[in-house]
Structure 1
Amino acid sequence: MDADLVLRRSLRAELEAHGYAVQDYCNCERFLEGYAGEQEACLIVDTHLPGISGLEVLSRLRAEGDELPIIMTSSNSRVATVVEAMKIGVCDFLEKPFRYQDILTSLNTALVIHRKTAGAKARRQSALEHIATLTTRQRQIMALVLAGQPSKNIAVDLGISQRTVEKHRASIMDRTEAKSIPELARIALAAGEPIL
C-alpha cells in the first residue's frame, strides 16, 4: 500500500518477477474492503497514507487478532513512529528510498516467521480441542500421569481402583490421540496445562 503509483508499479513488477502474487492499493480503505485474512500474505504499507494511516491499519488488524505480517515503509519516519510500529507488531521498518533486495529479504523473513507462528498457533488450537474432550477426572489423572505417578499411586491418592485409573488413562490417550506419554506431555504443554 502506497499513495505513490510509480513506486507501487515498480515494486509490484519486482515482486512478481520473484514469483510473488501481488495486489496493490493506493490507500488502506481499499485494502480493508477486500481483505479476508484467509490466505498467506504479507502487507507492505507506507506509514503516511491519506485517510487511514499505515499505523492505524496495523492497530486495527492486531486488535482483531489478525497476525498478518506487515512491513512498514516511510520516507520521513521519526524514531517515535518506528518504536510505535514495532510495539504494535510490525515485522520490519524500511526507510525510503529502499533497495528492492531489502524488501525481498524482509518479505522472506516475515513469511518464514509467520509460517512458524501459524504452525504453533494451529498446534495449540488442536491441543486445546483435544484437552477439552477430557472430563475433569481425566484431566486430574492426566496431570498425575504426567507428574510421573504410577497408576497404583494415582488410585490410592484419588480413592479409586487401579483398574478405573487404567481405563481413564486409555481414554485420555484415545481422546487426545496421543501415542505415548511424551506425546501427551507435548499436547498438554501446547494447551497450557500445568505439568508438575
Structure 2
Amino acid sequence: MSGWWRTNRVWLAALPFCVAGAAAASSYNVKDNWYDAGLHHRIAEGSAHTWVEVHDEYTDPVGPTSRTYRVRLDAVGDTPLYPYWEDGTPAPPPDGLRAVTVRLDWRAEPDQQLRGCTLALVDEDGRRFEADTTDACTPFEQGGPEAPSPGADERPTTGPEGEPERPASWTTNPVVLVPEDTQISEVWVYWETPDHVDLRVP
C-alpha cells in the first residue's frame, strides 16, 4: 500500500457517511427553505357558499398558539373601481388589468387574533395575486386583538383602546388586481407560511 493510501484510508472509509450526511442536511434545508417559506400546507378547504371551519396552529412572540374561525366564500366578481391607491381615492384599474372583488363571510370569537391576513386569488396556472390591504379578513376599525409585540409575555384579547369590539360575524370585500385574461379558480387566505385555506371558485 502506498504512503498516500495508508495516510488517507480512514478518511476514504468515512467518505460515504459524509456524503450521506451532507445529503440529509441538504434535504433538511430544502424542508426549511422551500416548504416553510411557501404555501405548501392546506389546513382547510371548501367550495363557495359553504362554511369552512379552520383551526390554525402557529407560533407568535409569546409561544405556540392557534386561531379558530369560520369563513365562507360568497362571491367573486369584477368591480369597476380599485380602492387601494396611495391617495385613497378609488379609480379604474390600469390598462391590461381588472379589479376583482371577493365577498367573504366570517365568524369568530372576539378574542381571536385575525388581523393582518393575506388574501390571494389563484388562477388555473397556479399564479397568485395578493390583495394590497390589511383588512382582507377583519372589519374596518374593528379588527380585534393585535398580534403580541416581540418580547411580550401575554397576548391581547381585545382590540386597541377605543376601538369597538369585533362582532361575532362580519363580511369583507377585498379587491385584487389581476391581468384581464385571468381565470380565477381559488381564493387563498393565510397568515403564516406554509399554511393556507383554499376556497374554490365555482
Shared fold (TM-score, shorter chain, > 0.5): no
Please identify which structure carries the higher strand content: 2
Task: Classify the TM-score, shorter chain.
Answer: under 0.3
Structure with greater contact order relative to length (CA < 8 Å, sep ≥ 6): 2
* TM-score under structure 1 length normalisation: 0.26
* TM-score under structure 2 length normalisation: 0.25
